[in-house]
Amino acid sequence: MGEFNGVVIIDKPPDVTSAGVVALLKRLLRVRKIGHAGTLDPFATGVLVCCVNQATRLARFFLRGKKKYEAVLRLGIEMDTQDATGDVIRTSADTDFSENRLKGVFRKFLGESLQRPPVHSALKHNGVRLYKLARQGKPVQKPERKIQISSIEILDIQSPDLRFEVECSAGTYIRTLCSDVGAVLGCGAHLKELRRLESSGFNLAEALTLDEVDDLVASGTFGDHIVSMADALRGMPAVSAGSGLKEKIRFGKKLTISDFPSERDGLPDGFVGIVDEDKQLCAVLEINNVLNQYKYCCVIKN
């Protein structure tokens, strides 16, 4: 099955790491090269974008995409990890808030803001994961970084638990959001459950469980469920390449606007996918029309 090049969306089960899912997928598909785009914590479930073989070169484009989650926040208990896997720091019995009060607090987090990444995270400090340093009693606090929450809605209130849905930029920590909500309310809070509904344009409707992957491989129909590299770059403009352009790309030759005669209105700035007559991805370019630059981000061998 090593000939597969594309993206498979996995509905990650609970109590397994994202790296563990990749390891299982490698064994099921019998391929050497698979990577995921966007880590989910072990207790979390939902959309995990997995890139197979040459598609691993596209992973960085998926890391930038928006995410959508359904989560459960528990009021009145503050955890050192900001989620249910940690140790209790503080408790409060004062968790009886009106629906209007809760909705008002959630609305405060809409839009652009600065968020401080948790000390228990997979970010690195001097090459070491922060959660490892935290476990050693050497927590490192990274500086705040800009995030964007485009929508947030409370779905259900069963005090002390609140179920909500949030759409946010890449790099947003939902457990930190829960902790921050608890801080504003004054009672403390942590993330109890998390399910990723969407990531970089992929959603749960496209996702396969690991058992389903196993069945599809056994039946020889897995190839029907892998997303081609060209189709996987959702939201990225695509340009068709004739044989001449395809040859230049194949050998990494310098490109100019004259190599795109069909694009009479010019090429869009930013990342652009180049596809051949068979709708196969040839390359991803980064284009700067002002500087007349056409930089190769990656070239795919077909």
Task: Give the integer Cα–Cα distance in Å for 184 and 1.
Answer: 52
- The owner of tokens 């509905």 is 11
For residues 135 and 223, the answer to whether their CB atoms sit within 8 Å is no
Would strands 238-240 and 270-275 be described as parallel, antiparallel, or unpaired? parallel
Question: Is 83 a known active-site residue?
Answer: no
Task: Give the integer Cα–Cα distance in Å for 297 and 33.
Answer: 19
- Work out the angle at residue 177's Cα, subtended by the Cα atoms of residues 61 and 181, and round it to the nearest 5 degrees: 160
User: Which position among 11, 41, 180, 276 bears the catalytic label?
Assistant: 41
Residues pairing with 67 in the sheet: 168, 199
- DSSP symbol at 250: H
For residues 208 and 225, the answer to whether their CB atoms sit within 8 Å is yes
Listed residue (6, 74, 71) closest to 41, CA to CA: 71
CB atoms within 10 A of CB 69: 24
Q: At 83, is the secondary structure helix, strand, or coil?
A: strand
Amino acid at 206: E
Task: Give the integer Cα–Cα distance in Å for 237 and 272.
Answer: 5
- The owner of tokens 């009060």 is 101
Active-site residue set: 41
